[in-house]
Amino acid sequence: MGKEVLMPKLGLTMTKGRIVQWKKREGERVQEGEDLVVIETEKITTTIKAPISGILLKIYAKEGEEVLVGQIIAYIGEVGEIPPTPPSQITPQQAIEVAQKTEETKKVEIRATPRARRLAKEKGIDLSKIKGTGPGGMITEDDVLRELEFIEKKAKFTLTGLRVKEVIPMSPMRQEISRRMTQSLQTMAQVTLSMEVNASALVKLRDELERKTNVKITYTDILVKIVSMLLKNHPYLNATLEGDEIKIIDEINIGIAVALNQGLIVPVIKNADTKSIVDISKEAHELANKARENKLTPDEVTGGTFTISNLGMYNIDSFTPIINPPQTAILGVGRIKKSPVVINDTISLGYTMWLSLTFDHRVMDGHVAANFLRELAEVIEDEDKLRKFVNL
């Protein structure tokens, strides 16, 4: 017996996916577990495997088409088997009949000259949106030309009348970032606390770690380890708000924001508090590479409980990060730079950095977030505490 291939739900917020590429054509044999189709969601591009072995009897969704989660996109069976006709989909002949009926209905409802209809069809203009100026409200060719001119002018200028140089459609990822960030700011009472810290010990420790482990260690790797350990004593920063209930998460999964050409993605290091600094570094490096190559799996971008966003490599000193829903906090990290530092009333040359913690004021008060940030700063500034946290 054959099997329907459905658009999978690859995340809690996923509602639809776009078909990027079919790896097999209709009529070809596929093996269970073999690459079948590449789909793009708001977060990732991933390959779906064939659920069974058989003949790809029918492809219902073409490349470039967006499909709702749970909708059939293909059918795999055996020779002689008849693929089903999904309730939500119709045959090409049915589609032609519907289109013809619709067009006939429009001709009755919409009065337009033959030249106007021909021009509207050529340019893809909906006559129902045009107000006719001819006798009895008849739509004329001039009416269609005015509509076409308006559409072209609208594309060349913004709503404020500024001339547009280029129109760039938002990618699915950019749309999802826009939606989630807007949702984050609209649904949370976000407050940001910032603190400048002495990073001299952190710089020294990073250099020592690289020498001892022969592994490329980043400052973000070290911060992932420190933050994951501190969160054990600051549960409200590792929580989520559902209705009127604050739910403290048992796992500590740290998301690391990775910049891509088309947007931003946050792969997650699961159970970071149980992993060594070397393991964290290797996993973070692997996840970042997979992110840039569009090879992340759904599991690698879900389940985060706290996020770290580091813009130091872009020479940013300080910024206000936006919480990644449904988390309750995010840490922004600025660049580390040489600066005068004061130690025991003595000024010397060292390194400083800015940390910015954004938290959801619905879940916690300012002093709760401030205590976390203060303890984080104390660990970073104290070489002995740093060594203890990274097991050196």
Catalytic residue among 273, 365, 382, 384: 365
Contacts of residue 157, Cβ cutoff 8 Å, sequence gap at least 6: 163, 164
b/e 253-279 (16+ beta carbons within 10 angstroms → b) = bbbbbbeeeebbbbbbbbebbebebbe
What own/partner pairs with CB < 8 Å and gap ≥ 24 does 202-207 have? 202/336, 202/351, 202/353, 202/380, 202/386, 203/336, 203/351, 204/383, 205/383, 205/386, 205/387, 205/390, 205/392
Helix, strand, or coil (residue 111): coil
Judge whether 367 counts as a catalytic residue.
no
For CA atoms 307, 312, 318, 319, give the dihedral sign: negative
Q: Residue 326, preceding bond cis, omega within 30 degrees? A: yes
Judge whether 234 counts as a catalytic residue.
no
Catalytic residue among 35, 142, 361, 382: 361
Of 355, 378, 369, the C-alpha closest to 219 is 355
Residue 129: CB atoms within 10 A of its CB come to 8
- Is the Cβ–Cβ distance between 335 and 315 less than 8 Å? yes
What residues act catalytically?
361, 365
